[in-house]
């Protein structure tokens, strides 16, 4: 009989968000009157509409596609030049960083890129993730067979977990053991922490001296307010030889339902072959993109390009201002409620300590029952998240003001 | 040093289309006057604009996304219910076939699905492909490590090639050796052949008795004109226990630049686990979609749904009529030129025998030099394609009439 990939059977059942949904459902069944005033601060999905410049560009692109003379069929699998050029210029050149247009690969999402990039990497690489961690980094490696079984605490054998806590500012210390591939996400989901130039330099030096690869997830870079914080790993000298960077239009441009992202693969980035030689990852990723992907919708790419127009940039800025304004209001409210909070100043997430001795899920239940507010329990992101909860600033202003009011009445 | 996936290094350099491009470029450099009248009948990309119903639906969806009240962020990773329902009804129920809505997974393309589905299958499955073959089936298995090295004739060790020729009507005989996973593509690219109900029944019986999996690629089903030819593998009794089906809006709806497709995974479809048990593939594919993918653009899905409206169906029909009208004209012209032709009656591809003793690339060069027509040499699809060339009916009517005229002057 043909076989399935049994690594999938090692995955724990999707626990965090289904469990949140189950508890919310149970609560609403017992308290139907709460349905009208329940506020969800859990999932990190945007709430504000697409920028006008994006809609205008997509309308034009739809019109082009409706006329034989301007219709476009298959586009380049790596993305249209018009978008790659804008990214190279605005996201990199303007920050003093050199990234060539053909090192930028346009995709339909960072989640896809983060999973698919693993295809071009060897099976025996040792993976290191931050704890707490975005679960997709771990799950995709479980699926690809780079881990052993799940252990009682929910972690997987064979993965190195790098603890992030308030003592290290949620930027992990360098590992004791040698690791091959390191996931770093800054600004961080879920902690809202950022990594300083010095912290990133330590990691780049580690990666270069150990010939490791950094997978740098910069999906939230647009939310950075502090001018000293790097937006790209390539702002660190030497990073082109040891890092891939994942970027997304999801949060910055409100593209969670539109789907556009990109990955940067510098040509200098070498890896070991099974024959003991070295080869560049760039042609491998190009090969994967051309063989197993067929490019992003032309209409979507025109929409993404519009984010770089003068009008589009101003509209992105007002989205950022809106969400970071939410974050500031939420921070104030949480602090006024006597809680200790991290994040929320350069990232759209607040990482809040549960009151002393309370576990993450206890806080979750209390917030749900007492305040009709849904948060995300920190332990859902890994054992180092126990005793924390995440509040998302992706919300309407009205909801945020109401959350602040309810917290003040505790 | 971290390692790369060395299986990628087994891949031959993308040979077919780059080599076509190289020869065309060389020819045009030597004969710049031919640039204006060169007609490309090579790549299978659509030429006609998007149906009006699709453009209208996408305009409305863009408008919805621009307003807070109707904005949509992350959608279901498996696709919106409104589209899954339409597919279940129109593509299956109306043909007397039962496919549940939650067995339909919406994606951004069949190329992606065909590659990604391999993730949920075991590494040691023996793969069988038709020869000639759409190269992506082979290359994605090479990348995933299911083959040995490339041999001198361009085939890979460890893959079973099933010869398709005019004697078997381009539907392969059952293999002598046991194979685990069989790719079948009907209507076929590149041969334009279709598989009768009897032929598909033989394959379903083989798969059921050998516990094999059929990956049925039905990307061209909308081009079938003969009412006796099945559109779906699920029209064959027992197929739900042994087959996955890949479908696409690319050719039928002109979506090659818009990107929308779907895969059907029946819940009855079981596979062997490493522990020797059996498990359903459906939850594994659901897990891959939710973990490594984030759904297709809402705007795109609204566009795809519009193909099922009354207006949309009529517009799809006129696209099919256009391309199949091209195919009929091309068939006539090729036959009048004294050549033997297959396909082109239930598929948008014509599979033409080169004149006696001429190799595929020799025909390619002759067509380019004498007629300024670019075709696809059959040997590029595998050794059984030697001595054939493919003509695509995806073209404007003017180009097709001009091709017919030039062939008559040979």
Q: Is the dihedral of CA B303, B304, B305, B307 positive or negative?
A: positive
Q: At what angle do helices B310-336 and B52-65 cross, to 10 degrees?
A: 140
Given a contact cutoff of 8 angstroms between Cβ atoms, the answer to whether A203 and A168 are in contact is no
DSSP sequence for A263-289: EE--TT-EEE-TTS-EEESHHHHHHHH
Q: What is the pLDDT of residue B357?
A: 87
A74-113 core/surface letters (b: 16 or more CB in 10 A; e: else): bbebbbbeebbebbbeebbeeeebebebebbbbbbbbbbb
Query: Is A291 near chain B, with CB under 8 Å?
Result: yes
Q: What is the pLDDT of residue B293?
A: 96
Q: Same CATH topology for B12-49+311-408 and B55-309?
A: no
Domain range summary for chain A, segments of one domain joined by +: 12-49+311-408, 55-309
Cβ–Cβ gap A3/B284 under 8 Å = no
Residues 109-148 in B contacting A (C-alpha not used; CB under 8 Å): 109, 111-112, 114-116, 119-125, 136, 139-140, 143-144
Domain A55-309 has CATH 3.40.640.10: yes
Reply yes or no on whether the pLDDT at B14 is more than 80: no
Query: Per DSSP, what are the bridge partners of residue B129?
Result: B161
Asked if the ipTM is above 0.90, the reply is: yes
Q: What is the pLDDT of residue B176?
A: 87
Pick from A291, A296, A301, A322 the residue to mutate for testing the B interface (most B CBs within 10 Å).
A291
Reply yes or no on whether the pLDDT at A409 is more than 70: yes
Query: Is A66 near chain B, with CB under 8 Å?
Result: yes
Q: What is the pLDDT of residue B18?
A: 82
Identify the closest residue of chain A to B212 by CA–CA distance: A2
pLDDT in tens, A239-270: 999 999 999 999 999 999 999 999 999 999 99
What number does CATH give the domain A12-49+311-408?
A: 3.90.1150.10
Query: Is B299 near chain A, with CB under 8 Å?
Result: yes
Alpha-carbon gap: A366 to the closest alpha carbon of chain B (Å):
27
Cβ–Cβ gap A143/B119 under 8 Å = yes
Strands (DSSP E) along B177-284, which ranges? 181-185, 213-217, 243-248, 261-264, 270-272, 278-280
Cβ–Cβ gap A213/B45 under 8 Å = no
Reply yes or no on whether the pLDDT at B410 is more than 60: no
Query: Is B44 near chain A, with CB under 8 Å?
Result: no
Identify the closest residue of chain B to A284 by CA–CA distance: B8
Alpha-carbon gap: A131 to the closest alpha carbon of chain B (Å):
18
pLDDT in tens, A378-393: 999 999 999 999 999 9
Q: How far apart are CA A129 and CA A179, in angstroms?
A: 10
Query: Per DSSP, what are the bridge partners of residue B373?
Result: B39
pLDDT in tens, B164-212: 999 999 999 999 889 999 999 999 999 999 999 999 999 999 999 999 9
State the pairing for strand pair B349-353/B373-374.
unpaired
Query: Is B17 near chain A, with CB under 8 Å?
Result: no
Query: Is A32 near chain B, with CB under 8 Å?
Result: no
Q: How far apart are CA B145 and CA B164, in angstroms?
A: 25
Greatest alpha-carbon pair distance for chain B in Å reads: 67
Looking at every residue in chain B, the average pLDDT score rounds to: 96
Cβ neighbours of B259 in A, within 8 Å: 108, 294-297
Q: What is the pLDDT of residue A18?
A: 82
pLDDT in tens, A116-127: 999 999 999 999
Residues 317-376 in B contacting A (C-alpha not used; CB under 8 Å): none
Cβ–Cβ gap A3/B181 under 8 Å = no
Query: Is B108 near chain A, with CB under 8 Å?
Result: yes
Nearest C-alpha neighbor of B114 from the set A330, A329, A193, A291: A291
Reply yes or no on whether the pLDDT at B15 is more than 90: no
pLDDT in tens, A294-339: 999 999 999 999 999 999 999 999 999 999 999 999 999 999 999 9
- Distances in Å between the Cα of A222 and the Cα atoms of A231, A232, A321, B306 are 8, 10, 11, 35
Cβ neighbours of A108 in B, within 8 Å: 108, 259, 294, 296-297
């Amino acid at each position: 009989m043909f076989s399935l990939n049994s690594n999938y059977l090692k995955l724990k059942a999707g626990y965090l968000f289904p469990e949140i949904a189950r508890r919310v459902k149970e609560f609403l069944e017992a308290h139907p009157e709460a349905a009208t005033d329940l506020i969800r601060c859990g999932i990190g999905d945007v709430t504000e509409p697409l920028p006008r410049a994006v809609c205008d560009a997509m309308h034009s692109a739809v019109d082009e596609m409706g006329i034989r003379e301007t219709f476009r069929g298959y586009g380049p699998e790596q993305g249209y030049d018009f978008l790659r050029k804008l990214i190279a210029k605005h996201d990199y050149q303007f920050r003093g960083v050199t990234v060539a247009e053909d090192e930028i690969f346009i995709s339909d999402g960072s989640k896809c890129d983060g999973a698919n990039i693993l295809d071009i990497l060897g099976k025996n690489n040792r993976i290191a993730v931050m704890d707490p961690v975005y679960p997709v980094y771990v799950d995709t490696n479980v699926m690809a067979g780079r881990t052993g079984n799940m252990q009682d605490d929910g972690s997987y054998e064979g993965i190195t977990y790098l603890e992030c806590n308030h003592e290290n500012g949620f930027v992990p210390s360098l590992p004791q053991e040698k690791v091959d591939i390191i996931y770093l996400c800054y600004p961080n989901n879920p902690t809202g922490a950022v990594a300083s130039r010095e912290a990133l330099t330590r990691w780049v030096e580690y990666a270069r001296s150990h010939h490791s690869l950094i997978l740098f997830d910069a999906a939230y870079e647009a939310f950075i307010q502090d001018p000293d914080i790097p937006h790209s790993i390539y702002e660190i000298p030497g990073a082109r030889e040891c890092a891939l960077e994942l970027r997304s239009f999801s949060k910055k441009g409100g593209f969670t339902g539109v789907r556009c992202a990109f990955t940067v693969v510098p040509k200098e980035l070498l890896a070991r072959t099974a024959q003991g030689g070295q080869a560049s990852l760039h042609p491998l990723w190009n090969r994967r993109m051309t063989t197993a992907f067929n490019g992003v919708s032309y209409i979507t790419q025109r929409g993404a390009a519009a984010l770089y127009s003068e009008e589009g940039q101003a509209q992105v800025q007002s989205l950022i201002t809106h969400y970071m304004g939410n974050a500031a209001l939420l921070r104030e409210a949480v602090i006024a409620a006597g809680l200790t909070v991290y994040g929320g100043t350069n990232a759209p997430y607040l990482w809040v300590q549960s009151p002393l001795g309370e576990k993450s899920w206890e806080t979750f239940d209390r917030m749900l029952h007492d305040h009709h507010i849904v948060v995300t329990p920190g332990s859902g992101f890994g054992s180092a998240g126990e005793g924390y909860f995440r509040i998302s600033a992706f919300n309407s202003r009205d909801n945020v003001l109401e959350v602040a009011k309810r917290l003040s009445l505790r």
